Structure 1
């Protein structure tokens, strides 16, 4: 079973206006709301591929009930820890420019964290945990390390989609997959990249540091998959980018869904690239139909 973890989920409230005047009454043209958070995005895309999974994390209050009910309505299993304060609401204000107001989120107590660890301790060798996104300020900075250590003790695989030190600190625990984009990889090694080929030596360094598989996305310049034995370079589909939110999460979900079905890394990488592109070319998260439509445009060659 695949489990996804979102430590600080949200209700994302999107408000579109023709224009916005500071200090004045503004009326919206349309609104929408849906559950947000990187792990939740992974769960929702996995469901598009009919891949069973369960969403974990912390929810609270009426907003937490909304997140949980929304996922259950999409037939996604949940096992959240219920906390005292409300799940946050993030506001996405769309006018001629897009502005965001992201809330802090609820306080997570030591008791809440212990309950989550007890859930992770139930995972075993047939399970995989996806840890995605940042750590709330009320949790210890070592949160990811504590959780992946539990996975290691119970022989559960895990995937980490995080930045900077969060990513570095989990590498010794040998994640099954990490997925930095080229900006995040550049920040890790204080460099910049202009081609996919330039990424390969640095991806190899992450493998040497402990990662079993590394996917690095470079937007329209392609993507690479690197592991101990080989490296693949993918050419991405062409299309109009409408939305970058959730594209990386979709890549993770597409990879896991295809790998669980085929156990073929190359095919999983192809689905990963197509899934990320399908979300980028859509206003929301990708659909299975859109992913399969783009698959024929994804070409992959082995370069090591």
Structure 2
């Protein structure tokens, strides 16, 4: 079973405004409400791709109830831990430019922390845990490390899609998949990464530190896969980018879903890139037919 963990979920409230003017009354042309959080995105996309997951994390209040009801409608299994606080709302204003206002995360008490860690202790060698997104400020900064260490003890695989200090701390721990973008990878090594060759070089350094698979997304320039035996590059198809939120999560989803269906690493990489691109071209996350429509436009080649 694949489990996703979203420690700081949200409702993403998306507002499309034709010409936003600060300090004035603005009227939205259309609005959307979606459950937010990188782990939740992974569960939603994998469900659409035909792979069952279970979403873990913290949820609370009427907004948390909305998130759970939304996932229920999409047949996404979940075992969230209830908090006494309302799940945050993130506002994403789309006009000439895109502006985001993220609400504060919940305060997670010690007993609630232990409850989630107990869920992780119940995982086994047949399970994969996807650690995705930011940490609420109330959690210890090494909380992901604690979870990864438990997985190392019980043999569960760990996938990490996070950034900053949380990403840096996870290096050196056994990781099945790491998916930084080229900016995040560059920050790890204090370099600028602007070519596929550089992405492959520094991705290889992550492999040397115990990561099994690395996918580096490079926006419109494509994506790079690095493993113990392969270094590959994939282009991204042409299209109008509507949604940068969730594209990286969809890459993870597509890659894992293809591996669950026993596809080769090359095909899993291609399917991941197609999934990320399909989400980028939608207002919401991709559907399976969107992904499969793009597959013929994505070409994977060896680097060097």
Query: Normalising by the residue count of structure 2, what TM-score does the alignment of the two structures yield?
Result: 0.96
CA distance in 2, matches of 1:263, 1:93: 38
> Equivalent residue for 2:3?
3
Q: For 2:149 and 2:209, how far apart are their aligned partners in 1?
A: 16
Which ranges of structure 1 fall in alignment gaps of 5 or more residues? none
Matched, 1:96 2:89: no
- The Cα shift of 1:263 comes to 4.7
Closer/same/farther in 2, CA of residues 244 and 24 from structure 1, 3 Å limit: closer
Name the CA distance, whole Å, in 1 between partners of 2:27 and 2:223. 41
Give the match for residue 63 of structure 1. Answer: 63
Match of 1:77 in 2: 77
Q: Distance in 2 between matches of 1:94 and 1:230?
A: 39
Other-structure match for 1:129: 129
Quote the Cα distance in structure 1 between the aligned partners of 2:22 and 2:202.
45
Q: After TM superposition, list the pairs within 5 Å mapping 1:57-206 onto structure 2.
A: 57-206=57-206
Task: Using the TM superposition, name which of 149-158 and 91-100 deviates more.
Answer: 91-100
User: Helix, strand or coil for the counterpart of 1:117?
Assistant: helix
3-state SS of 1:212 partner: strand
- Once the two structures are overlaid, the 10-residue window that deviates more, 234-243 or 248-257, is 234-243
Query: Kindly tell me: are residues 231 and 23 of structure 1, through their superposed partners in 2, closer, same or farther at Cα, counting changes over 3 Å?
Result: closer
Is contact 1:42-1:252 (8 Å) kept? yes
Provide, for residues 40-60 of structure 1, a one-character-per-residue CA deviation record: whole Å limited to 9, x for no partner: 110110011110101100000
Structure 2 CA distance for aligned equivalents of residues 236 and 30 of structure 1: 29
Q: For residue 193 of structure 2, give the secondary structure of its aligned residue in structure 1.
A: coil
Distance in 1, matches of 2:95 and 2:297, equals 33
CA contact (8 A) 2:105 2:137 kept: no
Q: Distance in 2 between matches of 1:16 and 1:230?
A: 42
- Superposed CA RMSD in Å reads 1.4
Q: Distance between the aligned counterparts of 2:238 and 2:22, measured in 1? A: 38
Q: Does residue 237 of the first structure (1) align with residue 237 of the second (2)?
A: yes
Q: Which runs of 5+ in 2 are unaligned?
A: none
Q: How many angstroms does 1:22 deviate by?
A: 4.0
| Count of residues in correspondence between the two structures | 304
**Aligned partners of 2:244, 2:95: CA distance in 1, in Å?**
17
d(CA) in 2 for partners of 1:243, 1:22: 23
Cα gap change, 1:85/1:262 in structure 2, threshold over 3 Å: closer, same or farther? same
Alignment of 1:256-295 (within 5 A): 256-295=256-295
Q: CA deviation at 1:92?
A: 1.5
Q: Which residue of 2 aligns with 1:54?
A: 54
1:218 aligned partner: 218
Please name the residue that 1:18 is paired with.
Answer: 18
CA contact (8 A) 1:86 1:105 kept: no
Moved more, 123-132 or 13-22: 13-22
The C-alpha deviation readout for 1:72-105, integer Å capped at 9, x for no partner, is 1100001001001100011122333322210112
Q: TM-score, normalised by structure 1?
A: 0.96
Report the CA distance between 1:24 and its aligned residue. 4.0
Report the Cα distance in structure 2 between the residues aligned to 1:200 and 1:27, rounded to whole angstroms: 46
